[in-house]
Structure 1
Amino acid sequence: MNAELFPSEDEQAFAPGALLLPGFALSKAAALLDTITAVTAEAPLRQLHTPGGQLMQVAMSNCGDLGWVSDARGYRYQALDPNSDRHWPAMPALIKDLAAEAAQRAGFADFRPDACLINRYLPGNRLSLHQDLDEQDLSQPIVSISLGLPAVFLFGGLTRADKPARLTLRHGDVLVWGGPSRLRFHGVLPLADGDHPLLGRRRINLTLRRAC
């Protein structure tokens, strides 16, 4: 696997079942931010704890039928927001349709996500290498939408020891991975400081999955 950054603005099929779509969400970025603001007004961003008790750097919320949560009981999806004991906000059609369109471009037809994890990164925040294992149907892809400050995404192999590729994800980029790449380790390097015209010193990432 090529471990260099991908500077091209063309689509990058960088691994089997994995596709980078530069600027795919750019024309809808402002509308996406409006929907995220509405969702997080109902289900505010919060920092979760790992099962081992460590506070996660990245602040999170969810929308959709299910939301991803973490606490002393473990990592899991659930229908209710633990902060309010109410259902998570409905997933906006704009987000759901964009994810389905991106998945189709990557060869995954009929992707219907039921969970959208909203992550907010501030300068210095990172996400360690991990696999997404909490979903019931691992045949469905993962769709990641990037907004705000650029981030360096690490895309590894099927073992933690595999050297990861580095992809710079910019405002409006969409990343899809599934099939043979579905269980690859992935993460985000510490976010570099900057000032984005729409988001200031922040990066927002939407990660859509079929959880159930």
Structure 2
Amino acid sequence: MAADLFGPAHGPAGVEPLSAGTFLLHGFAEAQAPALLEALGHILAQSPLRHLITPGGQRMSVAMSNCGPLGWVSDRSGYRYQASDPETGQPWPPMPDVLRDLARSAATLAGFPDFAPDACLINRYAPGTRLSLHQDRDERDLSAPIVSVSLGLPAVFLFGGLTRSDPVRQLTLYHGDVLVWGGPDRLRFHGVKPLAEGIHSLLGAQRINLTFRRAA
């Protein structure tokens, strides 16, 4: 299994340190998944998922939306955070407590106390969709960690180094897993391999990823 590349788990039960600033919390969000999905239903009714356009004019295969004071968007003018949904002209839906509390609890368990996310990017992966290697560097506050929650079908997460040419490790993320990275790892390149076909008992043929950041 890909997770074996990182060796045995250490620390609190279910918390696996992968490097100096990266921690995998096995199944941390699984019990809360129904509540998270209910909250997501309300968010997406206000700001539906959509396929953004890159600055180069390419259509992203992953469908996206946001909640919280700021939302990440992309179009021909560039990548950025903004307070309003460009499709509706309205503020992004508020971040529900169940999402914010989960992100803060995960960050604290990984050694990043006082995490206060102001942006939650919602990504939906269908089989065959992928996310190319990239850095999360559009945020003003790079001292805060990134908290990534996986729901639905398993995905192979690609975790590289601080340059695009560094070796890339592979890690299979399962339903309910939470990955937290920050500190010396905050600007590591990362991505997702094409999602394999499958059916999840709760979400069907898809994966939902929630990425919490401190953007401002």
TM-score strictly above 0.5: yes
Shift of 1:122: 0.1
Match of 2:28 in 1: 24
Match of 1:40 in 2: 44
Shift of 1:11: 2.0
Shift of 1:13: 0.5
1:107 maps to a residue whose letter is: G
CA distance in 1, matches of 2:167, 2:125: 24
- For residues 161-200 of structure 1, what are the structure 2 equivalents within 5 Å? 161-200=165-204
| Secondary structure of 2:195 counterpart | coil
- After superposition, the CA RMSD in angstroms is 1.0
Match of 1:85 in 2: 89
CA distance in 2, matches of 1:154, 1:21: 17
Residues matched between the structures, number: 209
CA distance in 2, matches of 1:79, 1:124: 31
Partner residue of 2:3 out of 3, 6, 12: 6
CA distance in 2, matches of 1:137, 1:97: 20
Partner residue of 1:94 out of 95, 98, 104: 98
| Secondary structure of 2:44 counterpart | helix
CA distance in 2, matches of 1:172, 1:28: 8
Length-normalised TM-score, structure 1: 0.97
| Secondary structure of 1:53 counterpart | coil
1:150 maps to a residue whose letter is: P
Where do 5+ consecutive residues of structure 2 fail to align?
Answer: none
Match of 2:148 in 1: 144
Match of 1:72 in 2: 76
Which aligned segments of 4 or more residues in structure 1 are displaced greater than 4 angstroms? none
Where do 5+ consecutive residues of structure 1 fail to align?
Answer: none
Match of 1:211 in 2: 215
Length-normalised TM-score, structure 2: 0.95
2:174 maps to a residue whose letter is: R
Shift of 1:172: 0.4
| Secondary structure of 1:26 counterpart | coil
1:27 maps to a residue whose letter is: A
